[in-house]
Amino acid sequence: MRIGFIGLGTMGRHMASNLMTAGHELVVHDARREAAAPHREAGARWAETPRALAEATDVVFTSLPGPPEVEAVALGEQGLLAGLAAGKVYFDLTTNAPALVRRIHGVFGARGIRMLDAPGSGGPRGAETRRLALWVGGDEGVFKRYKAVLGAIGDQPYYVGPIGAGSIAKLVHNCAGYVIQTALAEVFTMGVKAGVDPLALWKAVRQGAAGRRRTFDGLVDQFLPGRFEPAAFALRLAHKDVTLAVGLGREHRVPMRLASITLEELTEALNRGWGERDSRVAMLLQEERADVAIRVADAAIRQVPELG
C-alpha cells in the first residue's frame, strides 16, 4: 500500500520505519527535511507539502506535537484537505484535542474523506519495537479494513468507539499516569523522610495489593459494575489508613497535598454513612459531581479476555 507519513519526530520516525519494514511504499514529510534522511535512504519518497503527500498516497498518517500542528497540516492552504480525494483515509496518531479531531472529521467527511483518531501509548521505545497500543476512534468498518496496516505500527490496535474516542482514551490514560506519578512522589518522600531506605521501600510496596495489580484492573470489581457490597476493604478502614499517612507526613514536615484531598474525599463518603461499604464507594462522589453514572454489566466485564 502507498502510505503517506507526516511527522518524523520522537515517535513518528519509528512508526514510519516499521511501516516500511512491513513492506509498504512510503511517502514522507516533516517540518525538518533532515528528519526524513533515514527513511529516504531506505527508499521512502519525499513530499514538499502535506498536500503533495496526500495526492501521492492512498492513506495518510500524522504524528505531530499537538493540536496546532495537526490543524495546520490537515486544514492549511497546502494541507491534507487540499490533496486528499474522496474515498481516501486519514489517521491522526497525535495526542490531540477531541474537539479538534471531531471538527477535522466533519470537514473531511463533507468531502468523502474518512478520518480516524488513533493515538498510541508505549513511548519512543514502544514505537521502535512495535509494542504500542493504538486507540482508534471513528468508523469501525474503516478500522477493520486498515487493521493490518495499524498492526505494522503497534501490536495492540484497539477500536474504542466513535470519532474522538481514541483521543479521549489517551487523555484518560496519560492524565491518570501523571496523577499517580505525583502521588507516588508524595508518599515516597514521606516514607523515606520517615526513615525507610528508598530501595527497600520500593521493593516492599510493589509486593502489596496495589503493587501486584495492573493500574486499571482495580476498576472491575466495584467501580465499573457500581457494586460496593460486600466490602472487600471497608471505607472506615481506608479512612483510618489515610488519616495515619497524612499524620505521618505532618510529623515529618512532608507536604501531603494529594493525600489530604484524598482524606477529604474519604471523610465526605464516611459522613454519608458509607463506612461499612467498600472503600471504593468514595468514587461515587465524583460520579455525582460529574453527573455521570458508570454501570457495566458483569457479563460484559467477563468478556474481556484477560479477565474472563
Catalytic residues: 170
Q: Which of 79, 169, 73, 67 is nearest to 121 (CA)?
A: 169
Q: Which of 221, 267, 258 is nearest to 240 (CA)?
A: 267
Nearest 10 degrees: Cα torsion 236, 241, 246, 250: 120
Residues for the chain: how many in total? 308
Q: Which of 241, 224, 240, 212 is nearest to 280 (CA)?
A: 224
**Cβ atoms within 10 Å, residue 148:** 11
Q: In this structure, are residues 252 and 190 in contact, taking their beta carbons and an 8 Å threshold?
A: yes
Nearest 10 degrees: Cα torsion 282, 98, 132, 13: -150
Q: Which amino acid is at 5?
A: F
- What are the distances in angstroms from CA 290 to CA 27, 264, 268, 284, 285? 45, 18, 16, 10, 9
Task: Tell me the β-bridge partners of 234.
Answer: 278
Residue 43: CB partners within 8 Å, gap ≥ 6? 20, 26
Q: In this structure, are residues 10 and 126 in contact, taking their beta carbons and an 8 Å threshold?
A: no
Give me the DSSP letters along 16-74: HHHHHHTT-EEEEE-SSGGGGHHHHHTTPEE-SSHHHHHHT-SEEEE--SSHHHHHHHH
Q: What is the pairing mode between strands 2-6 and 45-46?
A: unpaired
